[in-house]
Copies of this chain bind each other. A is one copy, B any other.
Amino acid sequence: MLATPPLQPRGEARDSPVAAVVLTGAEVDQTAGLLTLRERQEFAVFATAETLAAIAANPIFRVLAADLVTRKAVARDQPFALPGGMSAELFAVPGKVALYLEGEDPALAAETGANVGVELICGGSRLAYVPGAAAVPASLYERLARADVILFDGTLFHDDEMITTGTGNKTGRRMGHMPVGGADGTLAALAGLRGRRILIHINNTNPILVKDSPERRLVEAAGFEIAEDGMEIVL
Which A residues have a C-beta under 8 Å from some C-beta of B?
1-9, 13-14, 28-29, 31-32, 35-36, 38-40, 54, 57-63, 98-101, 155, 165, 167-169, 200-207, 209-211, 226-229, 231
Contact = CB atoms under 8 A, between A and B. Distances in A.
Given A210-B8, A210-B9, A3 B59 contact: no
B63 A2 contact: no
Contact of A100 (B28, B63, B207): B63
A75 to B, nearest CB: 24
Which interface residue of A3, A29, A36, A211 has the most chain B CB atoms within 10 A?
A3
Contacts of A57: 59
How many copies make up the complex? 2
A64 to B, nearest CB: 9
A228 B5 contact: yes
A6 B165 CA distance: 19
B62 A13 contact: no
A6 B168 CA distance: 23
Given A58-B58, A165-B13, A204 B101 contact: no
A167 to B, nearest CB: 6
A60 B63 contact: no
B4 A228 contact: yes
Contact of A63 (B63, B99, B203, B211): B99
A196 B137 CA distance: 64
A14 B31 CA distance: 22
